[in-house]
Amino acid sequence: MRLFSIFFTTFLFFAAPAAAPAAAIPDAGRSPAAPPTVAAKSWLLMEQGSGWIIGAHEPDRIIAPASLTKIMTVFVIFRALSEGDLQLSDEVRVSELAWRTIGSRTFIRVNSMVTVEELLKGVIIQSGNDAAVALAEHFSGTEQAFAAQMNAVAAELGMRNSHFTNSTGLPDAEHHSTVRDLSLLTRRMIADFPDYYRWHREKTFTHNNITQNNRNQLLWQDETIDGVKTGHTESAGYCLIGSAARDGLRFIASVVGAESEQSRARAVRALLRHGYANYRAREIFADGEAVAEAEVLFGAADSLPVGVAGGLRVLAARSKVKNLRTRVHLPDYLEAPLAKGAVVGSVTVTVGGEVFTEEPLVALQDVKAASWFGWMADHVRLWFR
């Protein structure tokens, strides 16, 4: 029972990835090929679907996130849009403070009216600090109040080593994060807001008759790469979080503290290549699929279909994914009444005899209590077992 409880807790983590830090891929499913050597202060390669970390170097090292901060800025705005607190067509008056913000710019004009959609594209595609401040002020009143909301979201998502003081990533001694936290944030942004995330693959954006290119060089080098964000300050070095989707997989590669734009791009691309060359995903069970039939006593039905809530998809080394095996663990019988979703057992996935993961099995439908006659009949059945 203790072992089952441990694995059930593990399942809850993967079903709701924001609750805890991402975990390393289990050793049983790991590829023998080591990740490439990356010239950066810290880096991390994550599979987006599972949240499993394929490889990392100093993932919890405190870093200055530079413009990678804007992933959180747009996450907060994306959520506000999805909850109806903002509309893309809402017009924002540009303050003098936003207009004067230093660093990369969208070149919004002071006192002009700019839509939320235009400002978002300015932040995402052009990395506009002025656009980020304008959004922050519009949504929260001040950039400081917006930073407080950023920190609340970070705490909610389980970003345990992050603290934000501004919407831009401009240097501040109290403004920091880690590649683990930023990868977790990126994973959630892609999963939660796919319709808005698509803007990260756009190569150019024009505002105020000024056209600027997306700073992510990889968008021109590989059509499967569709984001995510670059960053650079003297203290942070050159940073890049890249993501690609192909072959039914999406990987997120985060690199901080590279020596040049070219170096960060090479590092991210090498990590993504490693993921696709060495790992594959396999759907073991679909959502709602009956894994087994469990015997039921004292119920209106004699059996109950059981399955894995949300289905079961596994990432494993390319050489091992075809060798995955499953084993169902159920008690001799279940006692009604039973509610749909109740945990009733577990299923183990093994590779070459090694346990890869174990997930809880749940009831796929309700089973009501039997009538008095049925209840007595099942007691008689038990006497003769």
What residues does each domain of the chain span? Answer: 2-15+286-383, 31-278
CATH class of 31-278: alpha beta
For the chain, how big is the Rg over CA atoms in Å? 25
pLDDT band at 20, cuts 50/70/90? very low
More confident residue, 21 or 150: 150
Strands 334-335 and 312-317: unpaired
Same fold, 2-15+286-383 and 31-278: no
* Spatial distance between the Cα atoms of 385 and 370, rounded to a whole number of angstroms: 19
Residue 67 annotated as catalytic: yes
- Of 50, 67, 104, 346, catalytic: 67
- For residue 385, the model assigns a pLDDT of 67
Q: Could you report the per-residue pLDDT of 119-133, keeping only the tens digit for each?
A: 999 999 999 999 999
Give me 314's structure tokens: 């596994």
Residue 127 annotated as catalytic: yes
Please state which CATH number belongs to domain 2-15+286-383. Answer: 2.60.410.10
Does 166 have pLDDT greater than 60? Answer: yes
Q: Could you report the per-residue pLDDT of 48-106, keeping only the tens digit for each?
A: 999 999 999 999 999 999 999 999 999 999 999 999 999 999 999 999 999 999 999 99
Place of tokens 């509309």: 87
Q: Could you report the per-residue pLDDT of 229-251, keeping only the tens digit for each?
A: 999 998 899 999 999 999 899 99
- Of 70, 121, 229, 320, catalytic: 70
Rounded to the nearest integer, the mean pLDDT of the chain is: 91
Burial of 242 (0-12, 13-18, 19+ CB in 10 A): buried
Mean pLDDT to the nearest integer, 322-335: 94
Residue 70 annotated as catalytic: yes
- For residue 374, the model assigns a pLDDT of 62
- Of 127, 167, 254, 263, catalytic: 127
Does 381 have pLDDT greater than 80? Answer: no
- For residue 299, the model assigns a pLDDT of 87
Give this prediction's pTM.
0.88
